[in-house]
Amino acid sequence: MEEKSLNGRNILVTRPQDQAFEFASKLIAEGADIYLLPTVKITLPEDYTKIDNSLEKLAEYDWLVFTSTNAVRYFVERMQFLHLFGNVLQGSKVAAVGPATALMLEKEGIHVDYISAIHTGEHLAANIENVEGKKILVPTTDINRGKLRQVLTERGAEVNEVAFYNTRKNEIADDYIIQTFRAGVDMITFTSSSSVEALVELVSPLHIPLEKFPVACIGPHTAATAREHGLKVDVIAQPYTLDGLISELVNYYRKISNEDLLNSRGGNIH
């Protein structure tokens, strides 16, 4: 029976609970043991005024730019709630930050005109075709930290970023967090900057030494956030997707011999 690269590795998944299954399943297929610690959760806005105004004026936008599958999900859900249909998008082009976001748009019947070759908002904003004088709608989260708006504005576009959903720290029992880390975590995975910040906040009063644990991040911005909080980033996805993250995790552990398994653990807490 073929030995899988992640056999015996305890991988901590910090994605929101309703989005963790796909990632966890792929890790399990590579032999990993999974601990779920959903550090963030998605909540809906209390006020839809700005959202609905943007959707009712879709015909005015030259581009719709999506930087996450969550943005697609909540954009489509609100469109359906308002009984708006695909023909309202006929006058607009659509850009996606990466293949997963593009696939979700296509599944919803929304044609994608541009997919960023490097899956970051900044790269998308810098490389999308001439946007000078164009009006652009960016459905996003309420804590969007990217430079997409800045880059597009500097290129002469009129950008309207609208929060279609909220990202919040999840409330997790202290005992559950402590027991998770005591069980032995080989790698902490992060797929967003918000998940990094939420975990740091959650463990801060528990005195868990996160800096002793190896960390894997989905892209450079998430990695930068982790480093800002004193964490050691060992793995960065290539490309910046879930599959890219799994691939780099496999490569990382292939370099570690089986006999070094216990020594490679980032530090159990007692």
Please tell me whether residues 175 and 245 are part of one structural domain. Answer: yes
Please tell me whether residues 18 and 60 are part of one structural domain. Answer: no
The CATH number of the domain where 251 resides is what?
3.40.50.10090
- List all residues 6 or more positions away from 23 whose beta carbon is below 8 Å from its beta carbon: 13, 15, 189, 191, 242, 245, 246
The confidence score (pLDDT) of residue 259 equals: 47
Domain boundary among 168, 192, 213: 168
The confidence score (pLDDT) of residue 4 equals: 81
Provide the number of structural domains found in the chain. 2
Q: Is residue 119 part of a domain?
A: yes
Domain boundary among 143, 168, 193: 168
Domain boundary among 149, 168, 187: 168
The confidence score (pLDDT) of residue 150 equals: 94
Q: Do strands 114-115 and 215-217 pair parallel, antiparallel, or not at all (unpaired)?
A: unpaired
Give residue 144's domain range: 43-168
Q: pTM of this prediction?
A: 0.87
The confidence score (pLDDT) of residue 257 equals: 53
Q: Is residue 2 part of a domain?
A: no
Tell me the pLDDT of the chain (270 aa) as tens digits.
456 889 989 999 999 998 999 999 999 999 999 999 999 999 999 999 999 999 999 999 999 999 999 999 999 999 999 999 777 788 899 999 999 999 999 999 999 999 999 999 999 999 999 899 999 999 999 987 778 999 999 999 999 999 999 999 999 999 999 999 999 999 999 999 999 999 999 999 999 999 999 999 999 999 999 999 999 999 999 999 999 999 999 999 988 754 454 555 555 565
How many residues make up the chain in this entry? 270
The confidence score (pLDDT) of residue 268 equals: 58
Please tell me whether residues 229 and 116 are part of one structural domain. Answer: no
